[in-house]
Structure 1
Amino acid sequence: MKNRHIFEHNKQRKNTIMNNFGKTIHNLRTRRKMTQQELAQDLFDRSTISKIENNELSTTYENEIKLITRLGLTPNEFEYISNSYQVGTKDQLLYRFLNLDDNVDQEEINGLLQDCLFVKNDEDIKRIAIILKSLLLVNNAAAPAHARELVQPIWFNYLRNIEVFTITDITILNSILFAFDYQTANEIITKIITNLDNRYPFMKELKANTLINQAIIQMKEHQFKSAVSILNSLQPLLKSLRQYDKLLVVNARIAICQNDKQKALEQVDLLQKIGAANLAKSLEQEVKQFL
């Protein structure tokens, strides 16, 4: 993975990928709800992106790499999509991993794990397989310690030494944050936020999820003042994303931090009323834990 943000200098491979470059860029940009101006920022003007997407203009090899990186992909990930105009095997596995529910059963986790093990020579999928193995330990008495032992090398042996994260890297790190001590978790979050702000400012939902995790970590350390500050900053972001279920969770956690049990339970009740029963149940457990 040392060439994670550049293509192999192989002309035939490059031509195969770049024949579909404009259309693939357009599809990925619209899927991410990015404007042409957001994608073009600091590289081109908006009209240039329009011409690239319509295959009316080519740009330099280096700028192609920058556009792909700005979309949160490695060149290999871009190739999966570009070659077939549809989600490839890796992307299907990533999608299934990203959409695992907190209450998912072990049979589904094991099925995804087996599919991941079938993919060879892909470092992202190998890391996801490790995380899935750790999730299968939940019914084991030694699960917490063993799970941490499995996932911690993902950070210490690899991602800690990487300056630029892909969206996949950030998602993986968010899924294992709670396996680390307080100081390490904050180190990881700081690096995630820096990457999101500097390289992926359009990934607002991913930033919201990261901040939610950061607030939980602060609460577990009884750093309630810091947690409230983070949670307050999340409110306008979640409103802009129209994620009102998460907004209710944030409001409840603010109430927990302020020792207001009644207000926290009111948010739980509202979650029940909008049909978010699993989220309400999980949040009710938090109220009992802290209050």
Structure 2
Amino acid sequence: MKGYGETTKQIRIGKGYTQKHVAANLLTQGAFSKFENKNTDINLATMHGILNRLGITFEEFFYIQHGYQYSTRDEIITQFYRLSFNEETVLRGLSEKCQQYLRDFKEDQQVFHISIILEALIILAKTGDFERAKKMVEPVWRDLSKRNQLYITDLYMLNAILFLFPLPTVLQIKQFALRHLALYGNFRQVSRLQINISMNIALLLMKDNKFSKAQREILNAIYLCKKEHDFILLAICYVRKGICLNQLSLLGEKWIRKGVNMLITLEQFTLLEMVEEEIKQY
């Protein structure tokens, strides 16, 4: 792994900028040269100014600095964000990464919580034992519920454990999560999280035979899916919309067919099996 100065130099040369241009009004050219060539320390505000001058975000900088790949921790968080359904092999692979990471960084509470959630989801996928899975994740919810402020990864953890709780608790968690989500506005990944929350709550409402309320959650998710061009989740939303309409004695078959055909077109055959089970169930 390169030093920060060395990575900065690599990016600067790659973009064709001089040291004078990048360092202007931030630090002397001599100090900047020492930073690039000897990896001397600079403060965070100056580093932020340098990255702005280079047109690079902190996330991209660290990705380059780690040899154009995520650090182990960033990879765990990124994969956790991308979990969209409970495929046991995927859950086990990510759980193993968490355990390996925690051997060296036992104090990382966030990754520890993610590892607990993954173990609960694995148990659920393997045995269907909701009570056991719920007991495992209850400490995560207790910890998160006491905080004055939640951040993106915290909100993803909340979304991952929503379905393990009774519906009244879920709706309470939803309001708790949305208060914190509202602070993020158009921040990246927030729309995907809002979609997942609406889809998960819709599924819980469907299981409780509250199809009218589930339909409202699905319509919100459909709006966000279109906004984000997330066609895989949009296909699932169409299927669930059709199921709800059928249960409300309305015409839902065309929406079910539309969602199924989209998944076939997108070659999402594992997800197709999942939604076909939902269709049979209802």
Would you call these one fold, judging by a TM-score over 0.5? yes
Return the alpha-carbon distance in structure 2 between the equivalents of residues 232 and 139 of structure 1: 28
Alignment CA distance shift 1:114-1:145 (3 Å): same
Q: Deviations over 1:5-43 (max 9, x none)?
A: xxxxxxxxx965444234567644897xxxxxxxxxxxx
Q: Deviations over 1:145-165 (max 9, x none)?
A: 211111011112x11111211
Conserved 8 A contact 1:215-1:230:
yes
Among 231, 240, 250, the alignment partner of 1:244 is 231
Aligned-residue RMSD, C-alpha:
3.0
Q: Deviations over 1:251-278 (max 9, x none)?
A: 2111101115633541223311321211
- Superposed, 1:62-211 pairs within 5 Å as 87-100=70-83, 102-105=86-89, 107-118=92-103, 119-138=105-124, 141=127, 143-156=129-142, 158-202=143-187, 203-211=190-198
Are 2:48 and 1:21 aligned?
Answer: yes
1:263 aligns to what?
Answer: 254
Alignment CA distance shift 1:113-1:272 (3 Å): same
- Superposed, 1:33-52 pairs within 5 Å as none
Alignment CA distance shift 1:24-1:257 (3 Å): farther
Aligned length: 228
Structure 1 segments unaligned to the other structure (5+ residues)? 1-13, 32-79
Conserved 8 A contact 1:109-1:136:
no
Return the alpha-carbon distance in structure 1 between the equivalents of residues 276 and 77 of structure 2: 30
1:5 aligns to what?
Answer: none
Note the C-alpha offset of 1:237: 1.8
Conserved 8 A contact 2:163-2:201:
no
Return the alpha-carbon distance in structure 2 between the equivalents of residues 255 and 136 of structure 1: 29
Alignment CA distance shift 1:23-1:228 (3 Å): farther
Return the alpha-carbon distance in structure 2 between the equivalents of residues 136 and 245 of structure 1: 23
- Aligned to 1:280, the other structure's residue is in SS state helix
Structure 2 segments unaligned to the other structure (5+ residues)? 1-40
Return the alpha-carbon distance in structure 1 between the equivalents of residues 58 and 222 of structure 2: 26
Return the alpha-carbon distance in structure 2 between the equivalents of residues 123 and 24 of structure 1: 29
Conserved 8 A contact 2:202-2:217:
yes
In terms of mean alpha carbon deviation, does 165-174 or 115-124 score higher? 115-124
Counterpart of 2:280 in structure 1: which amino acid? K
Alignment CA distance shift 1:239-1:165 (3 Å): same
Conserved 8 A contact 2:102-2:108:
no
Q: Deviations over 1:228-263 (max 9, x none)?
A: 112122222211111122222112111101115633
Return the alpha-carbon distance in structure 1 between the equivalents of residues 46 and 165 of structure 2: 44
Please give the TM-score of this superposition, normalised by the length of structure 1: 0.68
Identity of aligned residues (%): 25
Structure with larger RCO (C-alpha < 8 A, sep 6+): 1
Conserved 8 A contact 1:178-1:185:
yes
- Aligned to 1:136, the other structure's residue is in SS state helix
- Aligned to 1:258, the other structure's residue is in SS state helix
Counterpart of 1:278 in structure 2: which amino acid? T
- Aligned to 1:163, the other structure's residue is in SS state coil
Among 223, 235, 253, the alignment partner of 2:222 is 235
Alignment CA distance shift 1:115-1:145 (3 Å): same
The structure with the greater share of residues assigned to helix is: 2
Please give the TM-score of this superposition, normalised by the length of structure 2: 0.70
Return the alpha-carbon distance in structure 1 between the equivalents of residues 70 and 51 of structure 2: 11
Conserved 8 A contact 1:134-1:151:
yes
- Aligned to 2:123, the other structure's residue is in SS state coil
2:266 aligns to what?
Answer: 274
Q: Deviations over 1:43-86 (max 9, x none)?
A: xxxxxxxxxxxxxxxxxxxxxxxxxxxxxxxxxxxxx959x577
